[in-house]
Amino acid sequence: MTDIVLVPGMCHGGWCYADLGAELRRRGHRVLPITLTGVAERAHLLSGTVNLDTHIEDLTALLAAEDVRDAVLAGHSYGGMVITGAADRMPERVSALVYLDAMVPGDGDSCWDLASENERRWYLDVTGDGCATRPLPFFDPRATPHPLASVLQPLRLTGGLERVRRRTYAYATGWDGPSPFTTTYERLREDPAWRVFAVDGGHNLMRDAPDDLVRILTESAGR
């Protein structure tokens, strides 16, 4: 059994992993989906002070509270920022990182820095109080606004991330238009330290390619 921790992208809660999590549990893994502060069932905690550090602390607190060890951390989209920061802070609890069509930041990078111009225009479509980015119209009806400060704050790394050697990237090939992750995919597939997969599906790989993700996550757990 492996602990697999699933981090959603912007505007989504842990509910987006329901079907994927059920299949991974059927295969014997302990699956821990997380909802980040200010989003979904935690939307009542939204404020202008909720930032990337808050979300990293959400994840590190879960790892400690659930006594998670040798975990696979998987992050979708913005979730790549969060799993990177958490692995840097608690590398002793993490055995592998899996990026699901996600940001792969370095020290000093913000989600804003890594996004395309289209994504930045979306980020700036904010709620009336200026605290959060609105969900896009085609998102699941359960999607809620996402804390704007979390996409603007740069990630600060301390060197702990280098202790996590197993890294996997799943690239969605079925975007309706250019993918903002193509440059990341092309860079990482030339890096022997990474396992890289091109997956036939749109950005929401949990919906479009669940069987592929089950295989990728199971292999990451078993390596």
Catalytic residue among 47, 77, 95, 116: 77
Partners of 145 in the β-ladder = none
Q: HSE (CB half, 13 Å, CA atoms) of 25?
A: 12
Report the distance separating Cα 168 and Cα 200, nearest Å.
Answer: 16
Query: In the block, which residue shows the tokens 């790394």?
Result: 157
The count of other CB atoms within 10 Å of the CB of residue 51 is 19
C-alpha dist (Å) from residue 201 to 100, 179, 210? 11, 12, 10
Residue 220 is among the residues annotated as catalytic for this protein: no
Between the two ends of the chain, the Cα-to-Cα distance in Å is 12
Residue of 106, 53, 103 whose CA lies nearest to 80: 103
Question: Catalytic amino acids?
Answer: 77
